[in-house]
Chain A
Amino acid sequence: MSKYIHTILIGGAIFAFSCNSNHRHVENLMIKGSDTEVNLALTLAETYMATDPNISIAVTGGGSGAGIAALINGKTSIANASRPMKAEEIALAHIQGVNPVATVLGMDAIAIVVHPQCSVQNLSLQQLGAIYRGDVQNWKELGGTDEGISLYGRQSNSGTYVYFRDSIVHAEYSNQVKQMNGTAQIVEAIKNDIHGIGYVGVGYILDKNGAQSKGVKVLAISRNAKSTPYLPSELKNIDSGFYPIVRPLFQYTNGKPTGQLQRYLQFCLSPEGQALVKQNGYFPVSEIYWQQNKQALNLAYAKATLH
């Protein structure tokens, strides 16, 4: 019997020791949200953790809605969102005593992808909206072959889903849209579907050298029927603002960030952080959002919303 007691005592001592040995205070940060941003956030977090051993950052995806819900419920330090928070989400946050403050991490262009055999080369924003509203149901109406259009999109927990609906479709999505479980599945489905069309973050279909991934074709998009269409796969089209579907990527915090959180966000916006943003297929923060970032990370009062 005493043999067992010894074992238990020793085991307990080892356990207690292993718990206590790490006396240095390590701060844990949680980042949750947008699947579009998750790879980028991971790269940023890993790079930052390498410079500062006192911080541990855990990054998870789940979609912008999931991240915002976690922020409202106090379960994450940073909510990544590829769309601004909705009015009702902000109201709910205030009820829970959470004051969301946005900083913009970078810009993301959304590419419209089709099967390589698709006969259409470019679309206007209006045509794109009509396709996803279900008003245009045949490629023939867009100058292609006489085939039905097979629509692919994201699920309602995705920021891309909400951004695309609110900025491009301007109405309810057609109920024929197949709601895929993540960007990868849209790309996978388009590769196999000659009549398919889908929307994905440009970062997802470009590799580090800017080369386009095989198996899908990216459409050139114009602002209206008369203007020139531009391809998102060429960086100069996005830097110059010619490519029309570009959105900011947000990081929401509860109140103005302080301490480690503030230092981490400042790192994200430093030249080094922005270089990583670019390396991951996104684009550095544009001028209008710099003002907002300055307010959030420095002195003046930051407005929570950004509509």
Chain B
Amino acid sequence: MQKRHFIDRAIKWLFFGAAATSVLVLLGIFGMLLFNGVKAFAHISLAEFFFTSNWNPSAYGEPSYGILAMLASTFLVTLGAMLLAVPLGVGAATYLAQVATEKTRLILKPVIELLAAIPSVVVGFIGIVMVGPFIARVFGLSNGLTALNGAILLAVMSLPTIITVAEDAIRSVPNSFKEASYSLGANQWTTLIKVVLPAAYSGIIAAIILGMGRAIGETMTVLMATGNALAMPRGFFDPVRTMTATIAIELGEVPYGTTHYYSLFAVGALLFLISLVVNLLAENLAGRYRYKL
């Protein structure tokens, strides 16, 4: 009796330890980013960092540390990706959950999830040799290394996340909702638009936000496909350099302990905060998505 009791307790603590580890790692990463990032502001004013748009730490003359252009770039690419991926993703999820036969669904779903397995460097390469030149030809640009190129690629990369989570949300709408709708004489389309999708609303929003988190944090693809020009982008046809690309480009060469080094941590901390907020938002909404009967 005593022994069983002890094993119970030990197992409980073991699992608590496993859960606590990931929390500790998360806190550790955030603490490290913040600890190093804050040091950057010993030499950079907050106003320069947040409100100027010129980022050039290894400059010919005076270095400058304004993140506005890359913040705008990150948002531009993510926004574009969502504009493309949301209609496609939610449409596909609705089809899979409500319209497709079980047999079709069993084939389609694993294939869609396979999309997530393509390495980002491969997607970036496709962006350089296929999507980019295609964009250039369609829109009459001299080259396709633009925010639009990044947006299209990121849309493809966030599709599996959006479809999987949104499909689960739509399928979790109780059958009784649909049955009630049909019994009132509504057809399949009306039932879908007026009953099922609104009922799964918060789950679909969570899916979109998770997909957005995927797009914000993606590095290799945008690094390869968007041209990385430092200028403030004026639209989807301009080259952009995102926050992730900036960190990836510069962290390899920066000497330890310099302002440049710490400033990259500050950018990283900001990026972490953005995706943290996005994920918390998704978590919060996803928790509420099951309709109460």
Contacts and interface: CB of A to CB of B under 8 A. Distances in A.
A62 B56 CA distance: 20
B272 to A, nearest CB: 23
Would you call the interface of chain B mostly helix, strand, loop, or mixed?
loop
Contacts of A192: 132-133, 136, 143-144
Contacts of B37: none
A179 B54 CA distance: 15
A148 B249 contact: no
Contacts, number: 101
Given A188-B128, A196-B142, A157 B229 contact: no
A179 B58 contact: no
B244 interface: no
Nearest to B223: A181
B65 to A, nearest CB: 14
Most chain B CB within a 10 A radius of its CB, from A66, A92, A155, A177: A155
B253 A156 contact: yes
Interface residues of B, number: 33
Interface residues of A, number: 41
A185 B223 CA distance: 11
Interface string A153-173: 001110000100110011111
Contact of A65 (B143, B253, B256): B253
Interface in A31-47: none
Interface string B58-82: 1111000000000000000000000
30 contacts: A65-B58, A65-B252, A65-B253, A65-B254, A66-B253, A69-B253, A69-B254, A72-B255, A150-B142, A150-B143, A155-B250, A156-B249, A156-B250, A166-B60, A169-B60, A172-B56, A172-B61, A173-B60, A175-B230, A176-B229, A176-B231, A178-B143, A178-B145, A179-B230, A180-B228, A181-B249, A188-B129, A189-B128, A192-B132, A195-B143
Given A172-B59, A180-B228, A185-B128, 18 more contacts: A66-B252, A69-B256, A88-B255, A88-B258, A92-B255, A156-B58, A175-B230, A176-B239, A178-B239, A179-B228, A181-B223, A181-B249, A188-B128, A188-B129, A189-B128, A189-B145, A192-B133, A192-B136
- 8 nearest A-B residue pairs (beta carbon): A65-B253, A157-B253, A178-B227, A179-B228, A175-B231, A193-B143, A175-B230, A195-B142
